[in-house]
Structure formats: C-alpha cells, structure tokens
Amino acid sequence: DEDGDLSMESDLEERHPEAKLPHELSWGQRKQLYYDTDYGSDAQAKGKRSQQEIDAEEEEEEQEAQIIQRRLVRDLGEDDYGLDMIQSYVAQQQKTHDSKGQKIDKDLQALSKKEQLKLLKQESPELLQLMEDFEVKLMEIKDELYPLLQMVRDGTIPQGKGSRYLQTKYHLYLNYCANISFYLVLKSKRMPVHSHPVIERLVEYRNIINDLAVIDQKLSPQVRMLLRNFYDKKEEKLRKENKFSVFLTMDDKKNKPKRASAPVNGRAAAPAEASDESELDEEAALKYYKMMEKKLALKRKRTGDEDVLEEAVVSEGEDPSKKRGVTYQMIKNKGLTPKRRKIDRNPRVKHREKFRRAKIRRKGQVREVRRELHRYAGELSGIRAGVKKSRKLK
C-alpha cells in the first residue's frame, strides 16, 4: 500500500510540476527585488562574481524577456492593430458621401462675432496671419522700400550689391502681397484653397523672407539713417513749398484769380509762372493781414459799444434813494491794517505747529520710555555732565 501511495504522489508531481511554484508575475514583497542596476555598488558586486554566474544570469534574463514578449503577443487583439480606426474612417466617409445631398449651410448672420471668429479659425487658421502679413508688408513697401528705391534712382545709393538687394526685396514683397490678395479673392468666393498652388507659393515666399531677416538685421542701422535723411529733406521741401499756405483762407481761394491758359503751341515760360505764383502768394498774405486788422477793429468797436450800453443800463436801473452795492475793488481795499504772520491766518495749522513744538520741548523735560530692542550700546546723543534731573528727597 505504501508503494502504491508513493507511486500516486510521484505521478501527481509529474502531472503538475509547477503546482507548487509561484505565479510568474509575482516577484515577491521585498522592495529590493524590484531594483537592480549595472553601475555603482551593484556593478562592483557583480564584478566579483565568476563569468559562469554572469552568463547564467544573462540567460535567465533572456528567457524571461521571451516569456514576457509571448504574453504580450497573446494579449494583442484587433483593436491594437488599428483596424477599428480604418473601419470607422471608412464608415464616416460613407456617411458623408450619403449625406452630401442633404448639406445644410450655417447661418453666419445668426452667429455672434466670437463664434464667427472661432469658425473662421477652424476653417482657415492661416487667414488672420496672412492678413496681418499683408498689412505689414504693404506698409514696409510704402514707407521703406519705395523711398530707398527712389534714392537708388537719384544716385544717393550707388549701384552695387546693396541696390540689387533692395530691388530684389521690393519685387519679392510685391509678389508676396499679390499672392495674398489672390488668396483672399479665393476665400471671398468660398472656393477651396487648401489644395491650391497659391498655398505652396505663399510658403515659398515666406521661407525666402525669413531667410532675408538676418541680412535685414545687419543693414538696419544704415537703412534707418538713409530713411531719416530722406524724410528730413522731404519735410524741409514741403515746408518751403507751403510757406504761405497758412495765410490762404477759403474766401481767398474762392476769389483767387484763375491762371492764364497755356499757349496753343504748348510752350510755357517756367520763370514767368514761378514769378506769378510768388506774386499771388504775396497778394494773398497782404489780403489776409488786412482782413485780420478789420476784424480786430470791429471787435474793439463792438466791445466798446457793449461796455457803454452796460453802463447806461446800470445807471438807468439804479434807484437814487438806495445805497450802491459794494464792488470787488471796495472789498479788496482794506486800508491800513496791521501786519500779521501767515500762520495766523489758519487756526488749525497754527495749533498743529504749536503741538509740534511742544512735543520737542517735552523731550528735554521728560525722557521717553525706551524699550531694549537691542543691546545697550551707549548714548546716541551724548551725556551732558552738568545737567541734573533728579528729585530731592524731603
């Protein structure tokens, strides 16, 4: 019987050889089992072991890695391969294709400004940036590049690499703005622009402009100086041309004599025209001065008449039996008054000053209580040996 029991136990052990082993994922409760490194003290401890032990450990690690890999592959399903995404995309495309005939346009007028802006950013996020670029580049063309090109034509900027660079940049900005305007036309007509060639062209121009930023930064001091000189000269020229424009009023412009018509043969004398213009400006200035003198004379006369009328009205309205009312001059005329200090005018300020002086006097009579916030380091104001402030005991 004992032999039979032993044979049965051996058969059970052969059938279930891993029954007594723990689960492969349970590594134990000791924290040290979960941490292992190949540097520091662990590396020194591993260095003391034999090569055979190291090889056995590496083989165990490889087997464990293969077991983990097989377990992960076994747990994989269709969702992990992304097949559901493809199926959902196909279903969505089919749904949009079916509902193409039932497309409902949004009522943009019913949306608020915030919602309209949000919808615009969703449909074309690049639109606002391109509009801002359009305004900035146009301002730069108008205020910087065009004046610089005028200086190149005048000879202020000599021909060379700098002038060629300015011309290239000018044409580049013009083409960029033209493409942006074409893009805006397409957007206004509600045409699809994402696959349009204008987008690629805009990206190319933007990249070239970004590449030129380094050169612009180097040339910015010289460009600033040239533009300052250009605008100073322009302002001085305008000041000279409009020297007498201040004296011209609307009436003078209406009554201004018309210029003589040009001759039939088309030849006109430039010096004669210049002299006529200067004479007209002088006449306009003289007219303006005379008109202002007349206005001032009328104003003085009007104010004088009004004063006379007021005096007459006052004299007529007065009752001879009643006393006259006092005037400001009468109130101001105080006569002989004794001199008083300025502080006596305001009692509040006077008492405040008295209180301030009394506090200063009290410091010499009664010493203030001084708490020992810091260690005693001697008297700050010195000690007068002749002063005694003690009381005599009776």
**Residues 292-336 pLDDT 10s:** 888 888 877 777 766 666 665 555 556 667 788 888 888 888 788
Q: What is the Cα–Cα distance from 114 to 300, expressed in whole angstroms?
A: 61
Cβ burial of 373 (10 Å; 0-12, 13-18, 19+) is exposed
Who has greater pLDDT, 198 or 79?
198
Q: Give mean pLDDT, residues 124-153.
A: 82
Stretch 272-286: mean pLDDT, rounded?
64
Least confident of 280-284, 307-311, 355-359: 307-311
Q: What is the pLDDT of residue 354?
A: 97
Where do the structural domains in the chain lie, given as residue ranges? 125-241, 245-254+276-299
Residue 245: what pLDDT? 58
- The larger pLDDT score, comparing residue 182 to residue 193, is at 182
| For residues 132-156, average pLDDT | 83
Q: Apex CA 328: angle with CA 324 and CA 331, to 5°? A: 85
**pLDDT tens-digit readout, 46-73:** 667 788 888 888 898 899 889 888 888 8
Chain-centre distance of CA 57, in angstroms? Answer: 63
Q: Dihedral through CA 334, CA 339, CA 345, CA 351, nearest 10?
A: -160
pLDDT at position 262, please?
Answer: 44
pLDDT at residue number 10: 55
**Predicted local distance difference test score (pLDDT) of residue 358:** 97
C-alpha 48/C-alpha 311 separation (Å) is: 125
The answer on pLDDT for 247 being more than 60 is no
pLDDT confidence of residue 271: 47
C-alpha span between 181 and 310 (Å, rounded)? 70
Average pLDDT over residues 70-96: 69
State residue 343's pLDDT score.
92
Phi then psi for 68, rounded to 5 degrees?
A: -65, -40
- List, for residues 337-347, the tens digit of each pLDDT value: 888 899 998 99
pLDDT higher than 70, residue 97: no
For residues 115 and 329, the model is more confident at 329
Give the pLDDT score at 133. 83
What whole-number distance in Å separates Cα of residue 378 and Cα of residue 370? 13
| Confidence at residue 308, expressed as pLDDT on a 0 to 100 scale | 62
At 165-174, the pLDDT tens digits run: 888 888 888 8
Question: Which pTM value belongs to this model?
Answer: 0.36
Mean pLDDT (whole number) for 268-286: 61
Non-local CB neighbours of 227 within 8 Å, separated by 6+ positions = 143, 144, 147, 148
- Contact call for residues 247 and 284 (beta carbons, < 8 A): yes
For helices 126-140 and 113-123, the axis angle rounded to 10 degrees is 90
Q: Write a three-state SS string for the chain.
A: CHHHHHHHHHHHHHHCCCCCCCCCCCCCCCHHHHCCCCCCHHHHHHHCCCHHHHHHHHHHHHHHHHHHHHHHHHHCCCHHHCHHHHHHHHHHHHHHHHCCCCCCCCCHHHCCHHHHHHHHHHHCCHHHHHHHHHHHHHHHHHHHHHHHHHHHHHCCCCCCHHHHHHHHHHHHHHHHHHHHHHHHHHHHCCCCCCCCHHHHHHHHHHHHHHHCHHHHHHHHHHHHHHHHHHHHHHHHHHHHHCCCHHHCCHHHHHHCCCCCCCCCCCCCCHHHHHHHHHHHHHHHHHHHHHHHHHHHHHHHHHHHHHHHHHHHHHHHHCCCCCCCCCCHHHHHCCCCCCCCCHHHHCHHHHHHHHHHHHHHHHHHHCCCCCCCCCCCCCCCCCCCCCCCCCCCCC
Average pLDDT over the chain, rounded to an integer: 74
Report the share of the chain in percent with pLDDT over 90. 6
Contact call for residues 157 and 166 (beta carbons, < 8 A): yes
Neighbouring CB atoms inside 10 A of 394's CB total: 3
Could you tell me the pLDDT band of residue 179, with boundaries at 50, 70 and 90? Answer: confident
Residues 6+ apart with CB under 8 A from 31: none
Cα dihedral 265, 270, 273, 277 sign: positive
Smallest CA-to-CA distance from 324 within 335, 332, 314 is with: 314
Token pair, residue 69, equals 């890999």
pLDDT band at 2 (very low <50, low <70, confident <90, very high): very low
176, 209 in Cβ contact below 8 A? yes
**Rounded to an integer, what distance in angstroms lies between the CA atom of residue 372 and that of residue 383?**
19
Place 261 in a pLDDT band, splitting at 50, 70 and 90.
very low
Residue 350 has pLDDT above 90, yes or no: yes
| Average pLDDT value for residue range 256-263 | 49
Q: What is the pLDDT of residue 376?
A: 80
pLDDT at 95 over 70: no
pLDDT attached to residue 346: 93
Tell me the range of 26-30, 228-232, 279-283, 315-319 where mean pLDDT is highest. 228-232
Predicted local distance difference test score (pLDDT) of residue 356: 97
Tell me: pLDDT of 266 over 50: no
Q: How far apart are CA 168 and CA 62, in angstroms?
A: 65
Higher pLDDT, 272 or 301: 301
Say which residue, 5 or 300, is predicted with more confidence: 300
